[in-house]
Every structure is written in C-alpha cells, then in structure tokens.
Amino acid sequence: MPTTFTDRDKVPRSPGGFHDSLLVIDGHADTVLDLSGLSYTRPKDRSRDFFAKGEYGHLDFPRLVEGNVGCQVFALFTDDQLVPEATSHTWRMLETMEAQFEAGRGIVLAKNAAEILAARAAGKRAGMLSIEGGEAIGESIDELRAFYGRGVRLMGLTWNRRNALARGAGTGTAADGVGGLTDFGRKVVGEMERLGMVVDVSHLSDEAFDDLLAVAERPLVASHSNSRALVPHRRNLDDAQVERIAKTGGLVGVTFAGTFVDADPAKVTKERVMEHLEHFISVVGPDHVGLGSDFDGFTEKYGIAFGSASELPWITDTLLRRGHSQADVAKIMGGNWLRVLTEICG
C-alpha cells in the first residue's frame, strides 16, 4: 500500500534526478489565451512574453524547462462571448502559438509522437495543438481538415455548451433540453479517427459521452478531468466512465483546476490532487492515467494546488515516496500520453 506523503516529507530534488530523466507530457493548458491578450491569470495592463519567466500565470518557456516538461499540449479555446467568431478566433490563436514555435527559441511544433521524441533528442521542448470546443469548426468537416493541416492533433468536441457536434457538460437545465452526440458529431469523430486526431471527452455531457463511446474505434482521452467519486462536479468523471475510457486504450489527465479538485477552495491542495490521481490508479491502473493541468485556465478564487509548471517534480517525488515504481511513474508523468499519441498520430 502506498505510504502517505506530505509537503513536510518532501525530499529535495537535485538536477539530474529521476524526474529530469522523464519525458513529461501535460495534456492541457490554456496559455495561448494569455498570449492572445485574453488572460484569466494576469492584470489586463500587463503583457505576456512566453520566453520570459512571468510574475503572473502558470506556464511559460522558463517554467516548462524548470518542470522538465518535454511536451505541452496548448488548447485553442473559445469563450462564450467569442462563439459567433469561433472559427476566426481559433485561427488567430493558432497563429499566435505558431509564432512561438517559429521563434527558434527552444520550443517546436510536434504533430506526432516521433516529433516529440525528436525535439527531446535535440534538447528542445515540443508543443502540440488542441482545440477545446467544436465551435471552432462550425459545421464544416473541411474546417476540421484545415486545422489538421496546420498541426492540430487533438480536439475536445465541446466545452460546456451545446454546439453542432454534441451537448456539453454545462447544459444541465430543463431549458437546455437533451441529446448527446449529433449526426454531424458522429461524422466528425469518424473523420478525426481517419486523419489521426485524438478525440477528447472532457467537457462532454454524460449523454454525449455515452454516444461517443458507442461509435469510437480509437483510444479516447479525457485531457483534463478529475474523479466524480471524490468531487461530484458535472465536469468530473465517474468510475464507470474512467473504466470505459481505459478499455479504449486511452487515458484520463488529472487536472489542477480548483473547482474540480475540491468544492472548498481552502482544500485545493497538492495532496488533494494526488487523491484524484491515486483514485484513478486504483480504478484503472497506472497505464491509463496522465496529467492535464489546465494551467492558465483557472484562477485563485477557486483555490490553487500547483501554481506553475515548475512544481511538477513534486508529483514525481510524491509518487515515488508513496511506493509507486519508477516504471509506473514514468507512464503517469508522460509515457501514457506518448503511447496514445503514438497509436493515433504516429
């Protein structure tokens, strides 16, 4: 049985330790919002330079390096007020992130697992592109293909809203009606699987989740979701859903967003995040659990467990001290993501 571990027990980490030997992959961050001037985490009058260690926000290039993140998935997210221009907004965000990749300052676009490994071998960091919410493609399969052509390799079918693909997790009132995956949504899933794109179930309603599992033929991921058994939030997943994702060969990325960690902001701690991670391990084993921080997508009023990517070594240290093997820790910190990306994207 893994032993209990608290901050007081933390063993100081030295450069070159086990964490620094790992390929760490974080499956979800909203940093592109900040780079595009739409920050949740910094004052509006402060600019953001991705290549400078910031006073605000959770993630930038220096903190990726400090946390030894080998690959970061950057989400292209459309907030409610921008839905009418979701497609053009998503293209603008994509171009913002492309500029970081093209700057030649240590981070490169990766479109598959082989390119993640190539970046690592070259001493660089890899970034992958994800769309959070199918509003970005409207009702156009051609738009999906166009985003794929520019490097997008993951897509969450919904945010919390209803769109042309499916009904999101935030549509829980009688006025929202019912319904899960639409006919168009089924076509999108089929095309994503044909192209080699990862289908992300985070933010789906339970009905849409069921509909998706009935038609999906490739591994599925929940890029940033926690356990509903611990925190009964509509955005979290129950044990049966996690088991069904595992049966596809996919994974669940534990998230640090306060609301999903605990309803009480004062209880949003690193240890509470670990309870979600350990619970998922107990349900599906270490082969189907990963990280999905949601860095730069949450604010202090809901509680902060991890304040930046530089704190990720704490998870590795904690897992080891709790008795998990180095092989299992390597899977959880990035190996499981790499396996799924290899199978789907190449």
Here the tokens at position 251 are 């994974």
Greatest alpha-carbon pair distance for the chain in Å reads: 55
Q: What is the pTM of this model?
A: 0.93
CA 298, 302, 305, 311 dihedral sign is: positive
Name all domains of the chain by residue range, CATH numbers in brackets.
24-345 (3.20.20.140)
Residue 84 is encoded by which pair of tokens? 């009418």
Contacts of 189 (CB under 8 A, 6+ apart): 157, 181, 199, 212, 215, 216
Beta-sheet pairing, 69-77 with 24-29: parallel
Task: Quote the pLDDT of residue 192.
Answer: 98
pLDDT of residue 9: 32
Tokens representing 267 are 């209880």
Give the separation between CA 237 and CA 283, rounded to whole angstroms. Answer: 12
The mean pLDDT values, 10 residues at a time, for the chain of 346 residues are 31 65 98 86 73 92 98 95 95 97 98 98 98 97 98 96 91 61 97 98 95 98 98 97 98 98 98 98 98 95 96 98 98 98 96
- pLDDT score of 175: 45
What is the rounded CA–CA span in Å between residue 46 and residue 302?
Answer: 22
